[in-house]
A = this chain, B = another copy of it.
Amino acid sequence: MKMSGNGLVIVISAPSGAGKSTLCSKLAQKLPNLYCSVSCTTRPKRPGEKDGRDYFFVSEKKFKEMIRRKELVEWACVHDHYYGIPRQFLEKNIRAGKDTVLNIDVQGALKIRRLFPGSVLIFVMTPTMAELEKRLRARKQDSDAVIRTRLRNARRELRFLPKYDYLVINDKLADALCELEAIVIAEHRRLAHLSPPRFK
């Protein structure tokens, strides 16, 4: 039985505070054939962040050069900072049969779906908005005003939920992780992703 040779493009979106980054890195640890794409950004590095792990931190000049050279699959400008997905890593991975996770917002997710119609769109959310607020406050990272903005953004992003394939509720991290893993395993068995199987 010949299997499709391409890896899956897996988009994970979540409001800030829902645990997306932790889930993505733990998922990559569990699934040896799955890799997380690292985005490029022009925003300044925050304390604790590492170049090449959290983002590739580049200058605005470099970023615009990457746009011009079509080195980004998708990019956006948010609050004067640029964010983009490097093309080479993604395309090389996919062709090599490696699953690749893109950790992007709803607008970016919809663009990826247009570019890669077979991509799998997963939305991660806390059980309630109140829980999201609680987690944002517990991080002690943002001011009240910033938290209010993040919650407003979360509500706006949730409106795009019907465009997604899956909704994973990150109540307990281990459960959410199991569900994400199951989604990846199941998607590999979907006939839509397999080249027409021939049994001899």
Residues on A facing B (Cβ under 8 Å): 1, 125, 127-130, 155, 158, 161-162, 164-169, 178-179, 181-183, 185-187, 189-191, 194, 196-197, 199-200
Contacts and interface: CB of A to CB of B under 8 A. Distances in A.
A189 B161 contact: no
Contact of A162 (B127, B187, B191): B191
A189 B168 contact: yes
A166 B191 CA distance: 5
A100 to B, nearest CB: 18
Contact of A194 (B167, B178, B185, B197): B167
B130 A191 contact: no
- Among A128, A165, A166, A169, find the residue whose CB has the most chain B CB atoms closer than 10 A: A166
Contact of A129 (B125, B128, B191, B200): B200
A1 B166 contact: no
A167 B196 CA distance: 11
Contact of A187 (B1, B128, B164, B186): B186
Contact of A1 (B169, B182, B186, B194): B169
A57 to B, nearest CB: 33
Contact of A199 (B158, B196, B199): B158
B128 A167 contact: no
A129 B109 CA distance: 40
